[in-house]
């Protein structure tokens, strides 16, 4: 899902910063944050420390008073307990609530929660389960039809003293639906039972989303527990929240663990412990984040000064959300089909039932879902930043997207996990897009987003569609014939600055490579009968990328190992925290040119304005220490540092501290081929690649894409390099490779593992590092919203390694089963 971060495209106002991006997710305004931080930092640092050691209690009382004042209550009725965030506050309630376990003579407590709740609420089940307390989900519709649950029961008799806890959000973080605060009193007085179960019901109100744009009056609505997160109100400090507890229930709470600062007295040699009298002191274990707590005052002061109060914020943000909802709902394609599918329980007419949150997906002209990941990539080209996923609210996500429990489990088996980019499975969305408005949001922000939707999905450029014969004729002018292929091979062999021949006798790794054609051991097929195309397809180019995200090294022939092309993506550049750089965050990587000299057993690295530097090909993972761990696409990989000399070289060129690391040879990382339903590739090992051992692109597909570009100044070879393929073929039809299941080159057998979902890197000119959005936008448009280009390949288990791949070799394919069935039907 895309959380449209509607923070403020204006200059960052009072702080004097310029903001070139639109953030369509409200976590308060950047300007307000900067102003509050400025005021905060004017207070001398030594004063903070002095007050911590000599007078923090007085300062803490001031902050508590300011928080309670904001919610229109006082210390007579409520106590503030600082936590690490709203999640920590939820966990604390679960640990201190006076649960009664189920037993033979007592039905015990119930933990009841609305299904439209954050993960932090659902997670309380983990605590109640081990103490034998039943957890029961309740659908919002059941609570909204509350007449069926209303009762005349009151708290009478022992049975009705059994404590139960009901938790619901004041505002859904998924759809922005506001649930009635009137439930609180009805449940507390025994007039409304979430389960139809009498007892002493307590209410835990998750107000994290609600209080960011709406006033919460705790003098009118008095839940027993309220959880909040301060950064959602005014943007900082992060990692600080609070549990606001009603004083009428504090005497019922119980605590097992006690940390520093919570005890009046205790003995280490005897089971003796007396807690402090103050509720907040009793439950704030250890040293709390006192410097962040001091900052809260400045956040509230700035919020009040800029807006005049939460009522003004509520009116302003609701107006923006209502306007945007109306426009998005009205957007239509030329055929009358809706552009946006909105997931909402209201029509944004009343601010007391709907918050400034819009949740939706973008549709194509036929009504199909355009995945949130694809919309996210397009938005980044417009400097619009989204968050995607299910927003840690699986209940609301399932309801609105109509995904059953079985769907969720099957999606997990298909490889989809929370937070990844798998946005559509079997035509069904796994998430959606969310936009939220804050007190600094403007109509201009809303218009920027609406304009983005119109430009990218409605005002599509007219495709240059050609008849098959015409396209083939135009393609022939860019396609290498067999004679041209021979000339290119000769050119590559003579041009050592671009390409390196394999000199087998001089490299110990390649002693077993045969110069003869490789032989696939798969005996069950006649390879010559697999292809159905009439024109020969050949291997046009081979690229390897020794250093991940850096420039390619083009060769005319190259060894293939069980891991893929020899030395392909064996190295990568990381920052001081060992996080890998990519061209997304450092476009200058494309200007770093590594090349492999197999004769000298070295890798040579060049860059403009820098003297060349060398590093040995010999793996020193056994000799060098320490071996460290890094992550590539979520996988942990073992690497080692290539030394300070080359780190200094790279740091000077990139103008930032970095290191060159290499994958350890004694570490194996495996492709998840079984997840993709592939046979014969159960143990395909990977280098530092993202998805698969090889990426194949079709030159015919590149020519087709170039025809769609409004700007024709980009050359075919330049466009090819943007897709960073290992294998470039001379196909006869654009995108015919997407129908292949297997590929044979030089007798080597490859399994097709799927399409490559493209990111913003294809917008980067690989010769200059400059970024333009036209290539990605055009690709997405001409592929009907899916920016896929190229096919991933994996080694098949029936091939023998090491082997040799050569430019000019014939390419033979086996069509996928779906393709073959279509041909049979014809």
> Which residues are the active-site residues?
392
**How far apart, in whole angstroms, are the C-alpha atoms of residue 168 and residue 182?**
12
502 neighbors 735 (Cβ within 8 angstroms): no
What is the edge-to-edge ordering of all strands in the sheet holding 613-616? Answer: 593-597, 602-606, 613-616
Structure tokens at 90: 């939820």
Show the tokens assigned to 792: 């991933």
Query: What's the number of CA atoms in the CB half-sphere (13 Å) around residue 203?
Result: 23
In angstroms, the Cα distances linking 153 to 183, 198, 282 are: 16, 7, 35
Question: What phi, psi does 311 have (nearest 5°)?
Answer: -65, -40
Contact 629, 637 (CB under 8 A): yes
Residues 766 and 775: their CA atoms lie apart, in Å, by 13
The span from the CA of 304 to the CA of 310, in Å, is 8
Measured at the alpha carbon of residue 12, what is the angle toward residues 6 and 17, in degrees to the nearest 5? Answer: 135
The DSSP line for 137-167 is EE-HHHHHTGGGTB----S-TTGGG-EEEEE
Per DSSP, the three-state class of 733 is coil
Helix axes 372-381, 774-782, angle to 10 degrees: 150
- DSSP-assigned letters across all residues of 456-498: IIISPPPP----HHHHHHHHHTTS--HHHHHHHHHHHHH-TTT
- Determine the Cα–Cα distance for residues 550 and 640; give it in Å rounded to an integer: 19
Judge whether 27 and 231 are in contact, CB under 8 Å: yes
Tell me the helices (H) and strands (E) count for the chain, helix number first: 23, 38
Longest dimension (CA), the chain: 96
For residue 648, the SS3 value is helix
d(CA 563, CA 569): 10
Question: Kind of pairing, strands 225-229 and 200-206?
Answer: parallel
SS3 content of the chain, % helix, strand, coil (to 5): 35, 25, 45
- 821: part of which helix (H) or strand (E)? helix 817-825
Burial of 613 (0-12, 13-18, 19+ CB in 10 A): middle
Q: How far, CA to CA in Å, does 236 sit from each of 6, 61, 215, 386, 571?
A: 16, 20, 19, 19, 38
Q: What is each CA distance from 232 to 209, 228, 355, 483, 559, in whole angstroms? A: 7, 8, 14, 65, 54
Q: What angle do CA 466, 471, 473 make, to 5 degrees?
A: 140
Query: Which of 380, 335, 386 minimizes the C-alpha distance to 361?
Result: 386
């Amino acid at each position: 899902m895309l959380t449209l971060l509607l923070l403020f495209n204006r200059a960052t106002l009072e702080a004097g910063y310029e903001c070139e991006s639109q953030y369509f997710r409200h976590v308060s305004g950047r300007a307000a944050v900067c102003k509050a931080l400025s005021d905060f930092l004017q207070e001398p640092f030594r004063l903070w420390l002095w007050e911590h050691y000599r007078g923090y209690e007085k300062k803490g009382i001031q902050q508590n008073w300011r928080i309670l004042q904001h919610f229109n209550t006082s210390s007579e009725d409520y106590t503030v307990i600082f936590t690490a965030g709203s999640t920590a506050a939820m966990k604390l309630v679960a640990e201190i609530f006076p649960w009664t376990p189920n037993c033979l003579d007592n039905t015990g407590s119930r933990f009841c929660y609305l299904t439209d709740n954050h993960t932090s609420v659902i997670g309380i089940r983990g605590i109640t389960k081990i103490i034998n307390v039943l957890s029961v989900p309740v659908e919002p519709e059941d609570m909204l039809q509350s007449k069926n649950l209303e009762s005349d029961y009151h708290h009478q008799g022992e049975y009705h003293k059994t404590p139960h806890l009901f938790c619901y959000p004041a505002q859904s973080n998924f759809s922005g639906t506001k649930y009635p605060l009137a439930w609180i009193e009805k449940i507390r007085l025994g007039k409304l039972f979430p389960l139809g179960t009498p007892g002493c019901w307590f209410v835990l109100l998750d107000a994290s989303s609600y209080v960011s744009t709406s006033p919460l009056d705790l003098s009118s609505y008095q839940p027993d527990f309220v959880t909040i997160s301060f950064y959602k109100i005014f943007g900082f400090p992060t990692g600080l929240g609070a549990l606001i507890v009603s004083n009428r229930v504090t005497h019922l709470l119980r605590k097992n663990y006690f940390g520093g600062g919570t005890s009046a007295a205790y003995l280490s040699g005897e089971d003796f412990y007396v807690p402090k009298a103050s509720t907040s002191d009793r439950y704030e274990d250890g040293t709390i984040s006192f410097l962040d707590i001091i900052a809260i005052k400045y956040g509230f002061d700035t919020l009040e000064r800029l807006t005049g109060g939460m009522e003004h914020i509520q009116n302003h943000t609701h107006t923006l959300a209502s306007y945007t909802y109306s426009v998005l709902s009205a957007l239509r394609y030329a055929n009358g089909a809706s552009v946006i599918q909105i997931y909402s329980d209201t029509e944004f007419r009343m601010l007391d039932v709907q918050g400034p949150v819009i949740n939706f997906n973008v549709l194509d002209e036929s009504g199909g879902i355009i995945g949130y990941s694809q919309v996210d990539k397009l938005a980044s080209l417009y400097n619009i930043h989204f968050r995607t996923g299910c927003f840690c609210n699986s209940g609301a996500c399932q309801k609105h997207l109509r995904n059953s429990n079985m769907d969720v489990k099957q999606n997990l088996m298909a490889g989809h996990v929370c937070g990844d980019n798998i946005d559509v499975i079997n035509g069904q969305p796994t998430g959606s897009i969310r936009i939220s408005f804050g007190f600094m949001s403007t109509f201009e922000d809303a218009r920027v987003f609406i304009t983005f939707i119109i430009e990218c999905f409605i005002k599509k450029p007219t495709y240059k569609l050609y008849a098959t014969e015409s396209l083939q004729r135009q393609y022939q002018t860019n396609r290498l014939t067999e004679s041209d292929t021979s000339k290119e091979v000769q050119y590559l062999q003579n041009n050592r600055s671009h390409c390196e021949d394999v000199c087998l006798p001089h490299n110990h790794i390649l002693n077993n490579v045969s110069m003869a054609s490789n032989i696939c051991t798969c005996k069950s097929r006649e390879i010559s009968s697999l292809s159905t195309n009439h024109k020969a397809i050949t291997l046009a180019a081979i690229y390897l990328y020794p250093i991940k995200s850096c420039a390619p090294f083009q060769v005319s022939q190259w060894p293939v190992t069980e891991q893929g092309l020899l030395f392909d993506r064996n190295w990568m550049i990381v920052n001081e925290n060992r996080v890998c750089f990519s061209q997304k965050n450092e476009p200058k990587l494309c200007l770093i040119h590594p090349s492999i000299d197999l004769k000298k057993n070295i890798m040579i690295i060049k860059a403009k304005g820098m003297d060349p530097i060398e590093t040995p090909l010999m793996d020193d993972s056994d000799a060098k220490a320490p071996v460290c761990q890094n992550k590539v696409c979520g996988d942990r990989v073992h690497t080692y540092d290539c030394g300070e000399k080359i780190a200094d070289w790279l740091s000077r060129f990139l103008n930032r501290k970095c290191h060159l690391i290499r994958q350890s040879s004694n570490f194996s990382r495996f492709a998840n081929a079984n997840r993709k339903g592939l046979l014969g590739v159960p143990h395909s090992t990977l280098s530092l690649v993202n998805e698969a051992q090889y990426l194949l692109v079709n030159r015919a597909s590149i020519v087709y894409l170039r025809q769609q570009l409004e700007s024709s100044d980009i050359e075919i070879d330049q466009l090819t390099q943007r897709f960073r393929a290992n294998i470039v073929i001379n196909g006869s039809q654009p995108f015919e490779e997407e129908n292949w299941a297997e590929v044979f080159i030089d007798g080597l057998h490859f399994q097709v593992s799927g399409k490559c979902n493209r990111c913003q890197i294809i917008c980067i000119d690989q010769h200059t590092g400059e970024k333009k959005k036209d290539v990605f936008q055009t690709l997405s448009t001409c592929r009907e919203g899916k920016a896929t280009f190229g096919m991933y390949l994996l080694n098949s288990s029936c091939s023998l390694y090491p082997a040799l791949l050569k430019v000019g070799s014939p390419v033979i394919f086996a069509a996928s089963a779906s393709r073959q069935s279509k041909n049979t039907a014809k």
